[in-house]
Structure 1
């Protein structure tokens, strides 16, 4: 198996949509990605492509967030969704997508990445609910985590703001 991690291309759109519909029990994530793209809130989409089988093995999306730190807007993203085709699960595909995404975002100057997900899984990449607790969000809780990129520190005890793209508020309502 030879997997290449690369930015998504226009010709990948249908395969990404099919992967998201196959990977989740409802079409919510596929519709989220469609809306993020249509509304211009997509920051980075990467795919894991199996070059031997000539098929998509996985995909990850990072979207724009409105985040303030110290009263100033900072470049921030939300990681959602990440999906891996059933035949490629438990082989490091999601991990490769997440790490490649973080590297590209950090080199682009992004300061924070947020995720709403399983702490045991995302904690392996540095996401921490304690960091996210510094931000007011409708998704606040133990599964709302943040990762400081750029070696940056997030001020503790200061209540900041973190707003996802509007498409997130429509999840499960379409």
Structure 2
């Protein structure tokens, strides 16, 4: 989707994240319809995007949230948060149980994310504990523990 690529390219210093989105879109094992979320202004201008794709924790399905992108002119106005919230709502409605994010530890807790180590979930690479976070979407359902297996386009 060209508009998503434009948003992601504008939001990051290189095209690496936009290329990642394209690769994830092309990967049938990663892509989940409805979990590439865009937000727009009242006049229809697309301003933000959040992508949730399939990953696994010790063989159990989970979601990886990455990347989240907002056009620079619309940053810090709630577009990213709106995309994340809409994606989390859709993930819940699809029966997903766990979302993982590697990101800013001062931002993602506002959506309910907490250090993934609380559930004994870890990455296969070195990462600060506070930067790898998890959110359970289905209270009462067991949360898998173990190492995250990201979709191949992530390269980890």
User: Which TM bucket (shorter chain)?
Assistant: 0.7 to 0.9
Tell me the equivalent position of 2:31.
42
Q: 1:127 aligns with which of 99, 110, 113?
A: 113
Counterpart in 2 of 1:169? 155
Aligned residues: 151
List gaps (5 residues or longer) in structure 1: 1-12
RMSD of aligned Cα (Å): 2.0
Quick check: 1:141 aligned with 2:132?
Answer: no
Alignment gaps of 5+ in structure 2:
none
Shift, 1:136, TM fit: 3.5
Does the aligned pair in 2 maintain the 1:133–1:141 contact within 8 Å? no
How far did 1:131 drift?
4.1
Q: How does 1:55-94 map to 2 (within 5 A)?
A: 55-68=45-58, 73-94=59-80
* Counterparts of 1:27 and 1:153, CA distance in 2: 38
In 2 relative to 1, CA 31–101 (structure 1 residues): closer, same or farther, beyond 3 Å? same
Bigger Cα Rg: 1
1:152–1:79 Cα change, 3 Å: farther
The 1:89–1:159 alpha-carbon spacing in structure 2 relative to 1, beyond 3 Å, is closer
TM-score (norm 1): 0.78
TM-score by length of 2: 0.87
Whether the 8 Å CA contact 2:54–2:62 is kept in 1: the answer is yes
